[in-house]
A and B are shown apart, each in its own frame.
Chain A
Amino acid sequence: MSEIVICLGGNPNSGKTTVFNNLTRARQKVGNWPGVTVEKKEGEFIAQGKRIKVVDLPGTYSLTAYSIDERIARDFLIKEHPDVTVIIVDATNLERNLYLAVELLELGANVVIDLNMMDMVWHKRWQIDIGKLSQILCVSIVPTVASKGEGMERLKSVVLSAATKKVTPLKIDYGADVERTLNELVDFINQQKNGGLNVPSRWLAIKLLENDAQIKDWLQTLPKGTEIIKRANHLAQTLQDRLREDIESYLIERRYGFISGLVKECVKKPLGIEEKLTISDKIDKIALNRWLGIPIFLLFMWVTFKLVFDMGGPFADYIDTGVGWLGEATKHILGENWFSSLLSDGIIAGIGSVLVFLPNIMILFLAIGFLEDCGYMARAAFVMDRFMHALGLHGKSFIPMILGFGCNIPGIMATRTLESRKDRILTILINPFMSCSARLPIYILFAGTFFPTHAGTVIFFMYALGIVVAIFTGLLFKRIFFKGEVAPLIMELPPYRMPTLKTVLIHMWERSSVFLKKAGTIIAAGVVLVWFLSSMPPGVEYASRESWIGCLGALFAPLFKPGGFGFWQAAVALIFGILAKEVVVGTLGTLYGVEEESLTKVLPKYFTNLSALSFMVMSLLYIPCIAAIGVIKAETNSWRWTGLAVGWSLFVGWIIATLFYQLGRIF
């Protein structure tokens, strides 16, 4: 066997020069390729006693012969027929690098693939199935790390054994239309004996369809060449009409398609970050954005709030009217006696006061259910976490607090989303200080009467005071009862999805019915108790000074003296206010024997500006309404915590109202 000639091909930057240097060491000579000023490097190495000549081809991406480099490489391959062509492939970019290899394989070159830069592949933890790749392409593949000289000896021996290999050109399936044309052209070319060119007839046919100018030039000079070209042009024209696109780009596309299929088959990559990002992740980039997160959250809360109180309001009014009518009707049918009074003033009014909350609560749980099921609720806790941490609370505690402004009952019930019992109880305990909408009528009456020009400011002050007391209470209780850290915030974020109506409705009903059952029994009992106190002793006018509740009011009145409203009517109003804070206004009306509208004239006789303010503070803080107390009991499942909530709020309300009055008198 004479001298073996191999050549090195490959994309620029695939490490081809490094491989060349590694193979040949110092045995190199540098010249120019004939006729052009492109550097030609040659060298040699000895493997198993055989001398092997190495020609370094210019670095190219393909064999299209558009540039000088590419033409040199192709001319060399076609005309010199090296025994082996080693293609250096950058293993980290197989899609691009394999193109040249595939072109060479189509040409029928005796190819050995040097899979270079394998260290990068290992580092990226990709898995390249070299065996499979080698099988599909019918070539030997040698993994190397040329920069470290790894795999070079193996490459030498593989090249040597490949030198005697018989090669069949690679056949890529170009699709039915092209294949039909190709077959026809190949048959014709075979009949013409390739026109004398020593290349595979299929390759020649492909190049002719691609309208390769250089190949056509060669053919022109050969006998029968013109006939082949004529035939090819004709077939290409027909094919072009059928494909309706440029044949050359179509073929290139098919080649890349083949390669990407190959790579998909043989390379396993761990997903990159961008590919890993799901739609949920992308939504989270916005929903949990450090600037947009809070506004988005507040928007959701505002919408929830609006829905609960705007949509629930009318229904609540219907229920209220219905209950009122039922009470009147009961009295009308049974006549005025203790039994009808028990039924209408006690039980119907009591159950009614529960039912009135029901529409709001159902809509609230519908909204919460939706936010939970779609996956946003878990995120909301996140958004508010930093702020709430400052208060010693959990991010999730924010939602109940906000809802408390509407009504403490849904607020307290919303604490169910908190996992930690400590956080939950703490959030429940501070919730009643969030000024609910039922307290607003009291503020409106008193602020409107005593501070007509600053009513808005005064009302805002009440809300702010509620928040301050809530925060203070939270910090204090945390110190006393819940030492230790806030539960660390880590939670699974479920992917976003559209909840089904059915599951949302089921969630809504589960929670609403708990409210009805548990709170209902306690509220009804409480209402009956107040009715009893108002109706006793027998024959007394309902809720008059002489009734037991009147006596109770008179009994408690001195207690409120330091607060500036130490008269029995105020005491009774506050006691009735325990039923529901709205009742305070109505009770005052009843006790002073005037319509609610004319209270503005009567009240200044009893209250000063200062005592009016302290009465408002008292109304804000003094006790959760009986419905709220019932829910606190139901949710904490403990009379101790319920007792603490009641006791603490009475204490704080009294202290602050009194401080207000007394300090106000000094200034």
Chain B
Amino acid sequence: MCPLSVVENGREVEILNIRGGRGLCHRLNRMGIYPGTRITIINNGRPGPLIVALGEKRLGIGFGMAHRIFVNVLK
């Protein structure tokens, strides 16, 4: 398990949990990110924001936020 912010480009990860307030969780949920969701890191702009692929969708996630999303690297 590691924060999303440290995962390198091209990896697929599974969301494990989101360490944040309800607001953060809700916002992520609205964007389609739940524990169990699989996303691929398109571009980790460390220490800037990340771009991830959720299916065909591209989401930008701020670095601070990515730090609080814990994931499992799948491959």
Contact = CB atoms under 8 A, between A and B. Distances in A.
A289 B46 CA distance: 10
Interface residues of B, number: 30
A488 B23 contact: yes
A493 B58 contact: yes
B54 to A, nearest CB: 9
A650 B46 CA distance: 42
A76 to B, nearest CB: 41
Main secondary structure of the interface of B (DSSP, over half): mixed
Contacts of A385: 48-49, 62-63
A387 to B, nearest CB: 10
Interface string A365-392: 0000000000000110011011001000
Given A382-B60, A389-B64, A495-B58, A489 B49 contact: yes
B65 A386 contact: no
Nearest to B10: A273
Contacts of B64: 389, 488-489
B52 to A, nearest CB: 10
A3 interface: no
A492 B53 contact: no
Contacts of A494: 58
Interface in A449-503: 484-485, 487-495
Contacts of A605: none
B27 to A, nearest CB: 6
B73 interface: no
Nearest to A383: B48
B45 A288 contact: yes
Contacts of B61: 489-490
Contacts of B17: none
A493 B59 contact: yes
A392 to B, nearest CB: 12
Contacts of B27: 487-488, 490
Contact of A284 (B23, B28, B33, B42): B42
A492 B45 contact: no
A385 B64 CA distance: 10
Contact of A489 (B23, B40, B65): B65
A122 to B, nearest CB: 13
A327 interface: no
A659 B66 CA distance: 44
A66 to B, nearest CB: 38
A484 to B, nearest CB: 8
B20 interface: yes
A281 interface: yes
A276 B53 contact: yes
Please provide the 8 A-B residue pairs with the shortest distance between their CB atoms, ordered closest to farther. Answer: A489-B62, A273-B10, A493-B58, A488-B65, A382-B49, A493-B60, A490-B61, A290-B45
8 contacts: A383-B48, A385-B48, A389-B64, A485-B21, A485-B23, A488-B64, A489-B61, A494-B58
